[in-house]
Amino acid sequence: NAGVTQTPKFQVLKTGQSMTLQCAQDMNHEYMSWYRQDPGMGLRLIHYSVGAGITDQGEVPNGYNVSRSTTEDFPLRLLSAAPSQTSVYFCASSQGGNLNTEAFFGQGTRLTVV
Amino acid sequence: RKEVEQDPGPFNVPEGATVAFNCTYSNSASQSFFWYRQDCRKEPKLLMSVYSSGNEDGRFTAQLNRASQYISLLIRDSKLSDSATYLCVVKGTGGFKTIFGAGTRLFVKA
C-alpha cells in the first residue's frame, strides 16, 4: 500500500523561485492537509481540504496556494520562495466525516530556500 | 496563547522508568484527541486516541479531562525504543481542522 506519497523528498530553491510540492493518496480519503514543521514549533497547519474542489486556510497560509481538483491529489504551491519557508513539509490525509479517524502522513519534503 | 501546549521536555529517563507527558488545549469545543509519535527525521504516526473514560494500550495509558482541558500520556516500563517525540493532537469542531502541539522529546537511556 502506497498510502500518502510526497515528492520531492529534498529540494533547494533560490529566493523568488516558485515550485509545487506534490502529494497523492490512494486511500480515497476526503480530508487532506499540509503542515510545516520547524524546530520547537511543532506542525503548523498551512492549508486543508475537506474534499475535491474545497480548500481552506490553516494557521500559516501566507505564501502558499493549494487546489484540490481530484480526491487523490493535493499539491502545495510556493509562489515566490523566501528563506522563511525553509522547513520540513508534511502532507496528511484522513477519512472524512468521522472525528476519531487517524491521519496518515507522507514522508515529508525537506525544503531549503537560499 | 497556542491552541495546544505541551511540556517542553526533553525528558531523559532510564530504561524501566515511568514517565508522564501533559498537554493542555484552549478550545473547549475540541472533540477528538490523540497522541502521535515522531521518530527523528520521520513522519508522525498515530500512537493512540484519547477517550474521556481513559484508555490503555499495553504500556501506554492516555487520559482526558475535558473540564480542565487537559490530556496526559503515561508510559510505563520505558524501553530504549520509546525514544521519540510525542505529539499531542486535537481536532476541532467538524473533525477536520487538526492542531498539533510542539511535541515533547523523550530519551530513554540504558
End-to-end CA distance of chain A: 36
Instruction: For residue B87, give the chain A residue with the closest CA.
Output: A42
Where residue A99 falls among pLDDT bands split at 50, 70, 90? low
Each residue of A28-84: pLDDT tens digit? 999 999 999 998 778 999 999 999 999 999 989 999 999 999 999 999 999 999 999
CB A35 within 8 A of CB A44: yes
What is the DSSP code (8-state) at residue A71?
S
Measured between alpha carbons, how far is residue A54 from residues A11, A30, A66, B49 in Å? 28, 10, 10, 27
CB B1 within 8 A of CB B97: no
Instruction: Please judge whether A97 and B44 are an interchain contact, meaning their C-beta atoms are less than 8 angstroms apart.
Output: no
For position B98, what pLDDT does the model report? 82
Whether B26 has its CB under 8 Å from any CB of chain A: the answer is no
Name the region of B3 (left: φ>0; alpha: ψ -120 to 50; beta: rest). Answer: alpha
C-alpha distance from A107 to closest chain B C-alpha (Å): 5
Give the C-alpha separation, A48 to B34, whole Å. Answer: 19
B61's grid cell:
495509558
Give the C-alpha separation, A66 to A68, whole Å. Answer: 7
For position A41, what pLDDT does the model report? 79
Instruction: Please judge whether A99 and B49 are an interchain contact, meaning their C-beta atoms are less than 8 angstroms apart.
Output: no
The b/e string for A41-51 (b: 16+ C-beta within 10 A; e otherwise) is ebbbbbbbbbe
Give the C-alpha separation, A85 to B72, whole Å. Answer: 32
For position B95, what pLDDT does the model report? 54
Each residue of B2-60: pLDDT tens digit? 889 998 789 999 999 999 999 999 988 888 899 999 999 899 999 999 988 889 999 99
Instruction: Please judge whether B102 and A107 are an interchain contact, meaning their C-beta atoms are less than 8 angstroms apart.
Output: no
Closest alpha carbon to A25 in A113, A112, A102, A114: A102
B36's grid cell:
502521535
A107 class by beta-carbon count within 10 Å (0-12 exposed, 13-18 middle, 19+ buried): middle
Whether A54 has its CB under 8 Å from any CB of chain B: the answer is no
Whether omega before A61 lies within 30 degrees of 0, making that bond cis, reads: no
Give the C-alpha separation, B49 to B35, whole Å. Answer: 6
Whether B49 has its CB under 8 Å from any CB of chain A: the answer is yes
